[in-house]
Homo-oligomer: A and B are copies of this chain.
Amino acid sequence: MSSISLAVTGAAGNIAYALLPRLGELLQDTETTLSLRLLEVESRMHALEGVVMELEDCAFPFIDEIIYTSNAEEAFFDVDYALLIGAMPRVQGMQRSDLLKANAGVFKEQGTALNKVADRNCQVLVVGNPCNTNAYLTMRFAPDLAKKNFFAMSMLDQNRAYAQLASILDISINQIDNLCVWGNHSDTMFADYFNALLDGQPLIEQFRKKEVLLREKYLPTVASRGSEVIKMRGSSSAASAANAALDSMIMLIDKNPDYGMFSIAICSSGEYGAKPGSIVSYPCQFDASGSLSVVSGLTHNDFAQGKLDASFAEIAQEIAQVESLLTTL
């Protein structure tokens, strides 16, 4: 009987509320149990207790224990996986530099705590935005953990891309493969339809005549989807973000080459021209030994390469900005 210990931050927030009741999806068999550590800021502990009550009221047979706390070292002690959802949201009147600075404080603390107490093979997936930069910061302050174990989520962009491409081209998402997201989780990200497959064949060859539609409708729709959801629902994406976090975690736990190419932001070694050491979304794949790497040999035309370069540059710029802010923390 195996057990997984998982820490979740921002545990009283809306994304965690959508995610926690679905954690059973992470377990590969009915013998695996889950030890859950929930982290939240002190002022939200009351609400978190309510969430824990509801998790108890699900009577899940696979939950071994639930620890909830506002202490990062307690939450991260010996954990196999950390899902960092909590982040400072941008509030009215806040400059982007204020936002970066506020989050720098949060993720510096969490990286430091992970470095001190997490299992030495702990894998860390950052969902809280700006997630690439937040993952970079977490990794930077956890120097004793391997850089290859830090990730930021780009699966929500990938899922949005699949849905929009299918809708716009009037095909089924089940016909599409290898549609991956490159760069930063921001509106500069590039959901590369040039390397996508339709029924196993290059999609673009069958839809060459619709390329204007892909550039002018598909790409902007995917990029602005988050704010469109806010306009309609009145609050930001929670269910779909939680779903994408689960999709990502399932793959990180399962490490199965059969998943094929999928999008996740990892620590770059400079592949395709990104800044080495930055956290960049690439098409990635597991090999037979369960090792994850960037898919190599993909080609890009000038338009696509321009998109990649712009998004890679944005990531590098955010890192430079946050590095300069760190001196004032």
**Chain A contacts to B: CB under 8 angstroms:** 17-18, 20-22, 46-47, 49-51, 53-59, 61, 156, 158-160, 162-163, 167, 173-174, 225, 228-229, 231-234, 237-240, 242-244
Contacts and interface: CB of A to CB of B under 8 A. Distances in A.
Given A47-B232, A47-B233, A234-B50, A57 B225 contact: yes
A18 to B, nearest CB: 7
**Interface-centre pick from A21, A55, A173, A244 (highest chain B CB count, 10 A):** A21
Contacts of A159: 57-59
Contacts of A61: 173-174
Contact of A239 (B46, B47, B54, B225): B54
B21 A232 contact: no
A16 to B, nearest CB: 10
B22 A56 contact: no
Contact of A21 (B22, B163, B233): B22
A166 to B, nearest CB: 8
Given A59-B163, A162-B59, A234-B47, A54 B229 contact: yes
Nearest to A52: B232
B243 A21 contact: yes
